[in-house]
């Protein structure tokens, strides 16, 4: 076969996604981050993109931030713009499930392709440094006196910190429907509100607040883990007599309409990246717990999480 004919055939096979993995070169990845800059999904997406390049799993990565509605706006754009694209990926996680349950958007996760879960993380609740409150007990005492006077700040409606706030209220005998929850479109907005004293108490993944806690600009008063986080001297809610435990996790989905072979290639690329030093360093730096799960196992996990979260939110009066 003539060389030019062979190259044309190879290009056609690559476009169709039928090249064996060994014959495929690293792809130009398009990463949808369904949140504004500065939050957990943004940090995860950009760290993943860099690690994919360092691992040789991607030749380049282009990022697209589209925040709002707990990721539902970005999800809808991803579905509409990326159909059949074997190089498109979207960061997502537990927050998106909560947003879908509460917001009931027209586009759900059934329209996209589950690839892998990457990390898990627990939330921490913090007070602004100049807050008149010093402990979670102070917050709870005020919550019992006047639920609406306590402003809980965090991610989108249905986020894990929103659910945790409702669970806390229920556990201490306050109607969860009366909590004053202020939802922000991105972690950067929530952080600014806490630092500015515009909310009473803020919640997010520990990694998002770690630098401000270390600098003394935020006072941590409770984590949502079952036991204390390694290297973090913050009491759990359970230690303080509040029987609440809830975790966050983050993963990656592929575009709708990709073939099983294209899905496998993306999962293989993510698995290669997950083992690479660049990603391992990113997890350690951000305090993320490794939580690798891929393919159909991940898809089944998401279905189970959705059902469990819906039950928890119903019990807490959120839906």
Mean pLDDT, range 73-85, rounded to an integer: 97
pLDDT for the residue numbered 207: 86
Q: Give 316 or 44, the one with higher predicted confidence.
A: 44
For residue 37, pLDDT over 60 is answered with yes
Q: What token pair was written down for 192?
A: 């600014």
Q: Give 255 or 185, the one with higher predicted confidence.
A: 255
Given pLDDT bands bounded at 50, 70 and 90, which one contains residue 60?
very high
For residue 312, pLDDT over 80 is answered with yes
Torsion of CA 152, 158, 161, 166, to 10 degrees: 60
* Percent of the chain scoring above 70 in pLDDT: 92
Per-residue DSSP letters for the chain? Answer: --HHHHHHHHHHHHHHT-S-GGGPPPEEEEEEE-S-TTSHHHHHHHHHHHHHHHTTSEEEEEEEE---GGGHHHHHHHHHH-TT-TTEEEEEEHHHHHHHHHH--SS-GGGSEEEEEEEEEEEEEEEETT-S--SHHHHHHHHHH-GGGSEEEESSTT-HHHHHHHHHHHHTT--GGG-EEEE-SSHHHHHHHHHTT-SSEEEEEHHHHHHHHHTTSEEEEEE-SSSPPTT----BTGGGT-----EEEEEEEE-TT--HHHHHHHHHHHHHHHHSHHHHHHHHHHTPEEEEEEHHHHHHHHHHHHHHHHHHHHHTT--
Residues in the chain: 319
For residue 195, pLDDT over 80 is answered with yes
* Percent of the chain scoring above 90 in pLDDT: 78
pLDDT for the residue numbered 15: 45
pLDDT for the residue numbered 11: 47
- Mean per-residue pLDDT of the chain: 91
For residue 20, pLDDT over 70 is answered with no
Q: What is the bridge-based pairing of β-strands 180-183 and 151-154?
A: parallel
For residue 7, pLDDT over 60 is answered with no
For residue 3, pLDDT over 80 is answered with no
Q: What token pair was written down for 9?
A: 């055939």
Residue 123 burial class via C-beta count within 10 angstroms: exposed 0-12, middle 13-18, buried 19 and up: buried
């Amino acid at each position: 076969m003539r060389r030019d004919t062979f190259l044309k055939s190879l290009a056609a096979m690559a476009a169709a996604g039928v090249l064996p993995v060994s014959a495929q070169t690293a792809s130009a990845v398009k990463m949808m981050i369904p949140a504004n800059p500065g939050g957990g999904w943004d940090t995860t997406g950009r760290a993943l993109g860099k690690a994919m390049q360092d691992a040789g799993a991607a030749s380049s990565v282009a990022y697209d931030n589209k925040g709002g509605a707990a990721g539902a706006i970005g999800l809808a754009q991803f579905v509409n713009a990326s159909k059949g694209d074997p190089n498109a990926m979207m960061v997502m996680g537990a927050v998106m499930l909560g947003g879908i349950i509460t917001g009931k958007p027209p586009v759900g996760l059934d329209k996209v392709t589950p690839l892998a879960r990457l990390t898990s993380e627990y939330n921490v609740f913090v007070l602004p440094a100049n807050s008149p409150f010093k402990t979670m007990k102070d917050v709870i005492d005020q919550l019992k006196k006047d639920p609406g006077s306590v402003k809980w700040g965090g991610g989108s409606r249905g986020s894990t910190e929103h659910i945790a706030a409702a669970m806390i209220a229920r556990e201490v005998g306050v109607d969860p429907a009366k909590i004053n929850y202020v939802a922000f479109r991105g972690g950067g907005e929530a952080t600014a509100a806490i630092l500015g004293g515009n909310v009473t108490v803020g919640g997010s993944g520990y990694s998002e607040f770690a630098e401000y806690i270390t600098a003394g600009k935020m006072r941590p008063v409770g984590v949502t883990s079952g036991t204390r986080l390694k290297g973090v001297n913050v009491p759990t809610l359970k230690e303080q007599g509040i029987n609440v435990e809830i975790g966050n996790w983050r993963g990656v989905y592929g575009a709708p309409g990709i073939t099983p072979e294209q899905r496998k290639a993306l999962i293989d690329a993510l698995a290669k990246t997950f083992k690479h030093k660049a990603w391992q360093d990113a997890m350690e730096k951000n305090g993320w717990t490794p939580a690798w799960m891929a393919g159909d196992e991940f898809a089944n996990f998401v279905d189970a999480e959705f059902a469990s979260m819906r039950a928890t939110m119903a019990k807490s009066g959120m839906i």
